[in-house]
C-alpha cells in the first residue's frame, strides 16, 4: 500500500502508493505517513516542518477516496511551502485533483 524512499542527502522523501486508497486503507496510511514525518522532524533541529521535499508517487494507484484527499491536505500543511507534490498521476487522477481544487494549492503532475 505504501513504501517510503528516503534520500537523506538530497532531503527527499518519496511515498510510493499502490492499489485502492479507500477510506479503510487510508486509516493506516495516515498513521504511517504521520509517523514518518514525525521521524523526519526528530532528526532535525528546532524546525516546525521537515526540510524534506515530500512527493506522493501515484504510479500504481487505482483509486483515491475523500480520506486520501484529507491526507494530502494534512501533508500539505505539515510540509514547507513548495515542498509537497503529487506526482505520476494518470489523467483521471490528475483531473480528480483538479476538480477538488488541489491543483491550486499544491503541485500535481
Partner 1 sequence: MTNLENEKLVNYLVVLDKPGRRLFTEEDTRWGGLIQPAPSEVQNKSNDGLRIVLFGSWEFGYLVLETLKEYERRFPGKVNLVGLVTDNPLNPDARISLKKRVWQFIDLPFRVFDETFIIESGLRHGIPVYTGEIKIESFCRMMEQWNPDAILVCVFGQIINSFTINLPPFGIYNFHPSDLTKNLGAGPAPYEDLVTRNAGTTVWSLHHVSEEVDSGHVVGQSPPVNVRNTKGILPGNSLVVYQKLAEALPQLTFFLAEELSRRFEMNQPGPIDHIDFNSLISDEVKQKLMQPVIPDIPAETLPMPDLSIFG
In the complex, minimum distance from the CB of residue 14 to partner 1, in angstroms, rounded to a whole number? 22
What is the DSSP secondary-structure string of 7-38?
ETTTTEEEEEEEEEE-HHHHHHHHHHHHHHHH
- Whose Cβ is closer to partner 1: residue 47's or residue 70's? 70
Whether 90 contacts 45, CB under 8 Å: no
Phi-psi region of 26 (alpha: psi -120 to 50; beta: other; left: phi over 0): alpha
In the complex, minimum distance from the CB of residue 99 to partner 1, in angstroms, rounded to a whole number? 5
- Whose Cβ is closer to partner 1: residue 14's or residue 69's? 69
- Whose Cβ is closer to partner 1: residue 78's or residue 83's? 78
Q: Using CB under 8 A as the criterion, which residues of the chain lie in contact with partner 1 when the complex forms?
A: 22-23, 63-67, 69-70, 72-74, 77, 96, 99-102, 104-105
Amino acid at each position: 500500500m505504501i513504501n517510503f524512499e528516503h534520500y537523506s542527502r538530497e532531503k527527499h522523501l518519496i511515498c510510493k502508493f499502490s492499489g485502492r486508497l479507500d477510506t479503510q486503507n487510508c486509516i493506516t496510511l495516515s498513521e504511517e505517513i504521520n509517523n514518518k514525518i514525525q521521524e523526519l522532524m526528530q532528526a532535525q533541529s528546532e524546525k516546525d516542518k521537515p526540510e524534506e521535499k515530500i512527493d506522493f508517487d501515484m504510479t500504481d494507484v487505482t483509486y483515491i477516496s475523500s480520506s486520501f484527499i484529507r491526507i494530502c491536505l494534512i501533508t500539505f500543511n505539515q510540509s514547507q511551502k513548495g515542498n509537497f507534490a503529487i506526482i505520476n498521476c494518470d489523467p483521471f487522477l490528475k483531473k480528480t485533483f483538479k476538480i477538488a481544487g488541489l491543483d491550486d494549492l499544491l503541485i500535481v503532475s
